[in-house]
Structures are given as structure tokens and as C-alpha cells.
Amino acid sequence: MQDRPVITLTTDFGYDDPFAGVVKGVILKINPNAEIVDITHGIRPHDIREAAFTIGTNHRFFPDDTIHVVVVDPGVGSQRRPIMVLADHHYFIGPDNGVFTHIYNTPHDILNVVHITASHHFLSSHSPTFQGRDVFAPVAAYLSSGVGMPKFGDLITDYRKIDLPIPFATPEGVLQGEVVHIDRFGNAITNITRADAENVGSVTASSDFKILFRETVVPLKKFYSDAATGFLCCLWNSSEHLELFIDRGNASSQYNISPGEPVRMLRA
Amino acid sequence: MQDRPVITLTTDFGYDDPFAGVVKGVILKINPNAEIVDITHGIRPHDIREAAFTIGTNHRFFPDDTIHVVVVDPGVGSQRRPIMVLADHHYFIGPDNGVFTHIYNTPHDILNVVHITASHHFLSSHSPTFQGRDVFAPVAAYLSSGVGMPKFGDLITDYRKIDLPIPFATPEGVLQGEVVHIDRFGNAITNITRADAENVGSVTASSDFKILFRETVVPLKKFYSDAATGFLCCLWNSSEHLELFIDRGNASSQYNISPGEPVRMLRA
Amino acid sequence: MQDRPVITLTTDFGYDDPFAGVVKGVILKINPNAEIVDITHGIRPHDIREAAFTIGTNHRFFPDDTIHVVVVDPGVGSQRRPIMVLADHHYFIGPDNGVFTHIYNTPHDILNVVHITASHHFLSSHSPTFQGRDVFAPVAAYLSSGVGMPKFGDLITDYRKIDLPIPFATPEGVLQGEVVHIDRFGNAITNITRADAENVGSVTASSDFKILFRETVVPLKKFYSDAATGFLCCLWNSSEHLELFIDRGNASSQYNISPGEPVRMLRA
């Protein structure tokens, strides 16, 4: 165990309620040495897909052995299981509702999933409506204190995956993806990655394709201020996803772009 | 003193200004070992009741000896006193404006309240408009460093309580409470607790009563996804308060519910 | 180096995206002992002036040797340089776009500015769109781990300053400033400081001047609740700036005040 084991939080709790603070209290009561980092509490309420995308694309920036707690859990209190995932050198704790689908879909050396049943590691009076506080927080704290993964329950293989929007090749040789996230700057992030562009049949090199949004070609730039002011452009962003943007503007509000809108890539 | 004494913050500072960050700077300058946790900075501006409810229902999830700083302080700079409260094993620091009323009203073994007058523990040039930074933060930091409670001032007994909405029994044997908080999910949390339901005369067991909101019976569920989609239901929430909700919906916006609306409980 | 070196973050990332969390992950991966404090992530997108004002007026509340990372960076990826500033006992890391202008304009014993070129201290695969994560975070982490400032690049003197609104004396002997920030409470903070009031020709002592806003005299108070309810008043705030407010009200929304509006001070 590290001196200061890192526990991250990714939730839909928002910032105006005490939910995230209380989760931290529970963790520190069990392991005073935990170092707790908010990834975000701004996931849209109950949006499992957004949480899956967020943790899937960002956990790798944290140290090995980091414990990532993800609480976007509309089914809290029902029969859906609490689980713990070890994927290579990162741990993930949360509900078995598909929120770790991105993790499952990434190639690993190791992928172990445990159904958490060790209720002696839960808060003693646990509520059926706030398992983030009563189950996931104490389990993360005990794991960070050195309790081994096998102590929390048995391995399972029937963990739940959800359908995530994946780019697909059309018969005409077009790669079609979609917008999956709008960020604070109004940038529209798609599910098309640079690897997609390189791997999919019709698209062989970055210089050889063009991007279409609403039947219009969108120029590909290297960075934001490389674009002409006021024009919709795109780039490969910091997580290697294709992103539509307007330099110093707000693409999402100016073009009224929402998650789900198609973006297409074809041979130039 | 612990290696990493915990100091929590509950304020109406919001997140877009540097207020909370600066408070943390002041604390760390005095005690570099403090572990600072945000409970929330999203209390509605100047809403002492909301702050009282938040700290009153959540402090118990933190370790013993935690120091809770609460800054919702419309009277800052006036004659209202800065105080320090010890209630059982938790410390509370803030203005004497009633923000600790929930703490006072809870039974304890110990309840000591000190009027903070030790101005040598304040920032040297303190402003009359930001005592969170200039008084409460340094006092919390010195307390966390081992300066004893008696060093900050004398005991008082005339600390201020505010009237908090409390459920009451009507002559017809109905228990009437009200909505006291709307959370991020649009859930409407009332001031009726499970203990109220068990203690108040006409209501003897959870199975024996019904809940009325706007003259309509609201079904009582065990957890959110136990409810039929789209219907207003209620449950005992994670702090044992009665809460109105719509599963995966937003009860507050759909029914236009605000704090202050009555909710009634009567014998079935 | 301290046991727990403090690194602060001031950005326009907001709270709903994982940007700030990922920056913390990168820092902790390099220096697990760093103590990271958010000053705010609520700077308006791309508002370099607001960031300059925020870090300029608040860094002094942090311990000596604190490392302040400021990422408001519309030109990310372009030729604008990453820089590291040492001003007296504080370090500042961010883009050379004028965001440290307040720091430069404050008198110091020491002011050193380095153009950061040591790319072996960047993340190995750095993106041209998120240098907060790929350049500023790791550089801050290595600096906090004991790597000396000269190891990051060479001294420069042609760092960029921006024009910040500064109060000026008109021929009529009036000191004219402007609103520079609206806080969460709707208070309108101006760029007129108490020192301006004391130094500028026509204004010799606080008791001798009056404040004009939209041709109306605004009463000067000592603290918020010193004002009559509902009336626009002003005071010297906790950073010694002149601030317009309404006690327990919202001056900005009630009077529709925005940054840039003039405020004038003249001999009474």
C-alpha cells in the first residue's frame, strides 16, 4: 500500500448537495491516509453512458493502484449488484449497471470482477438509497487500507455491459460516428478516435479523409487557435477523439449540437 | 491530535469565486497537515436554515475530532459573535447566527460553546467582510494544530438558536411537516423523520400510516427504482427523512415543489 | 521542500468535465505528496483578465513556496510560450498570455520568469489542446518534487503583459475606475483600491470623498449589514477593493451591473 492511496470519485451528485462531502467523510473515517480526488460530480443525473465515457477515457492519467469510485446509480437499492473491478493496475468500484463498459472493452492483461458481498465492510446502518456513502465509500476505504480484493466477494463473469455508440462503416465506405459529450467550452466530442480513422477500411491516413457534419465539410486543425475565427472546425483532441469546435466560440450553442448527432468521415 | 486532522467546509461561497480556495490557503499556511474536505459550497446565499440542516444531518459521517467550519453569515462584521462549539466528539466553528441550531437540538453528553475572542489567532489584518478567511479559517487551523478550546475564549450559554420548521400534530391527529430541501435530482426532502413517524401519537408503525401531499396519497417505497415510472412516490431517505421523488424523473420541477410546502402523515 | 508542497489550480475548466480531476491525477502520479488546492475552476471561459485578477489578489493567502498553476489558455497549442514565474516566495506556472500581469505589476524583491522548454518533464505523448494536463501539471509536480527552476528553461524578460483596467484621474479631479468582477452574491467589485483612494491627487482621506455610480452617490459602509435594506451601498472589501452591494440582496441583478461599468470617486 502507498502512504497516501488515491481514491477518485466520478458521480452525478452535483456540487450543491452534501453527497460528495459525506462520501469523503466516510472514507477518511476508515482510512485517514486516503487521498481523495474528484474527477467530476457533474455527470448528468443517471447518465450511465456519460459516466462510462468519462471514467473510461480518464483513469489512465492516475497512478497505478488508484481506486476509482463511480456512482451513477439509478437502480440503487434494487437487485443490481455492487462490484469491484481490477483492470491492469487500476481498481474500480460501483454498481453493476454497465458504467464500467469502456473498461471492459479495453484490452488488458488482467480483468477481474468481484461481486461485493462482504457486508461487514459496509456502514452498519446502510440505507437502500445512498450506497455511494454506505457501500462504495467504505469498501474503497478498506481496499485502500490493505484489505485484499478476494475479501470483498467472489469473481463473476456475467457483469453487465451496455451498448455504447461505436462508429461503424457504411456500405458506401463512410465511417459514421456521433457526438457523445459537450464540454464546458461548447466543444462537441465524438466517439470517433484517431485509431478508428487509421483502422477502418476506407480511411488510411489522416491526410486522406474529410469530415462531414450536416453535409458540410469541416476543416481539420491541429489546435484551437489554428482555426479561422467564428468557423466550425474539428481536431483530434487530448483523448484522441474527433472534436468539433469554434475557436474562442461555442460550437454547441451556435450550431445547437447535442449528443447523438452523427458525424461522418470519408475518403477525400 | 491526529496526523492529518480533518477540517470540513460548509458555505454559501459557490464555486466560481476564489473564496473557498483562499480559506484553504489560510488553513494550510497555519497547519500544513490539515486535511480539508468540502461538504458543500452550494448553500443558497445567506440561507442559514439550509446550512443548519446540512451540517446537522451530515457531520456524524466524519471522524471524531473533525472540525466543521460553517460560513453562511449575512451579518458578517456586525456585533454577531464568532463561536466554537464542541458537541460530543465534533467541533464546529462559525457565526453565532443559529447555524448550529440542529446541533444544539440533538441530545449530547457534552455541549460546550465558546465565544471566540482570541484575536491573536485571527489574520493580522482582518477585514469586516470576510471572516471566513480572517477569523474562522485561522481559528480552525490553530485548533487543529493542538491549541485547546479554552484558549479561544470563554464559555457562553446564550448562543443563538433559530426556529427550524418542526413537524407538529394537528388536533385531528395528523402529523404535518414540510419540504425543507430540494436536491440535485429534484427530490423533495421533508423535515419528517422516521422517528417522528414512530413517536408522534397518532402514528404508531410505518405500516400503519399514509402520506398526503396536496390532498393526494403518495405511495411509500423502499428505494427509488421500486416506484412505477413517472409517478410521485416517497421513501425514508438516507438521513431517515421522508422524501418525495419520481424514479429517474424530477419531482420538484414536474410538480413545482419548493421548500415550505406542507406534507402530512396520518393513520391509515 | 516541504513534506506536503502546495499546488493551487485556477482555471476556466468548470466542474462538469473531468479536466481538473485529470490534472490532479497527473500531478499525484509524479509527486504523491503534493497537496492540491482548487482556487477556482469557474473563471469565465478564456477570460484572461478575470484569471489575472483572481490569482493576483489571492495568491498571498497561501504558504510561501506554493506553486500556482493557472490555465486560462485560448492560445493553447500555438506559439505562445509556457512559462514559470518566481515572484518573491511564490511560483506561478501557465501560458505566457498575460495571465500573470497582476503579479508582474506588483512590486517584488525578486521576479524571475523562465520559458519552459524542458520537454522531458512533459507527459510523453502531449496533446496540442490540453497543455494543462500535459505540460503545466507535470512541470508543477516536478518543481514540487525538488527539481530547480533553472532546470525548466532559460530566463526571459519579454514575457507578455496585458492591459488591465486601471483607475485614472480625469482633468476634473475625479478618479474613474470600473467594475471588474461580479461575485456569487451579486456584489460588483471594482478596480479601485483603498490605496488608490489615498494616493490619487484629488482624494486625500477616506472620509473626504464620495462615490458615484450612474450619477448617484452611493453610501460607503464598513460591512454589509451596516447598510439599509434594499439600498445600493459600497464598502472596501476583503481585498481592499471598492465593492458595490445590497445587503442580503443582489446588486448586480437588481441594477443590471456588468464588468466594465464605470464607478467614480471625487472629493466630497
- Do A40 and C18 count as a contact with CB atoms less than 8 A apart? yes
Residue of A32, A75, A133 lying closest to B238 (CB–CB)? A133
Interatomic CA distance for residues A160 and A113, integer angstroms: 11
Identify the pLDDT of residue B207.
Answer: 61
Is B108 at the interface with chain C, CB within 8 A? no
Identify the pLDDT of residue B1.
Answer: 56
Residue of A2, A58, A235 lying closest to C129 (CB–CB)? A235
Reported confidence tier of residue B170, pLDDT bands at 50, 70, 90: confident
pLDDT one-digit tens code per residue, A51-63: 999 999 999 999 9
- Do C127 and A185 count as a contact with CB atoms less than 8 A apart? no
Q: In A, residues 5-24, which contact B (CB 8 Å cutoff)?
A: 12-22, 24
Angle of the C19-30 helix axis to the A48-58 helix axis, nearest 10: 30
Reported confidence tier of residue A196, pLDDT bands at 50, 70, 90: confident
* Pair type for strands C209-213 and C188-193: unpaired
Interatomic CA distance for residues A114 and A103, integer angstroms: 14
Please compute the mean of the pLDDT values over residues B102-112 and round it to a whole number: 93
Identify the pLDDT of residue C247.
Answer: 94
Which of A169-173, B77-81, B207-211 holds the top average pLDDT?
Answer: B77-81
Residue of A nearest to B248 (CA): A74
For residue B2, pLDDT over 80 is answered with no
Write down the mean pLDDT value for chain B: 93
Reported confidence tier of residue A206, pLDDT bands at 50, 70, 90: low
pLDDT one-digit tens code per residue, A232-265: 999 999 999 999 999 999 999 999 999 999 999 9
For residue A132, pLDDT over 70 is answered with yes
Is B74 at the interface with chain C, CB within 8 A? yes
Please compute the mean of the pLDDT values over residues C169-195 and round it to a whole number: 92
- Do C15 and A41 count as a contact with CB atoms less than 8 A apart? yes
Share of chain B above pLDDT 70, in %: 96
Residue of B nearest to A19 (CA): B39
Identify the pLDDT of residue B199.
Answer: 66
Identify the pLDDT of residue B51.
Answer: 97
pLDDT one-digit tens code per residue, C212-267: 999 999 999 999 999 988 999 999 999 999 999 999 999 999 999 999 999 999 87
| ipTM here | 0.94
For residue C205, pLDDT over 60 is answered with no
* Pair type for strands C90-95 and C67-71: parallel
Interatomic CA distance for residues B191 and B196, integer angstroms: 9
Write down the mean pLDDT value for chain C: 93
Please compute the mean of the pLDDT values over residues B73-85 and round it to a whole number: 92
Residue of C8, C238, C247 lying closest to B21 (CB–CB)? C8
For residue A1, pLDDT over 80 is answered with no
For residue C203, pLDDT over 60 is answered with no
Reported confidence tier of residue B22, pLDDT bands at 50, 70, 90: very high
Identify the pLDDT of residue B238.
Answer: 94
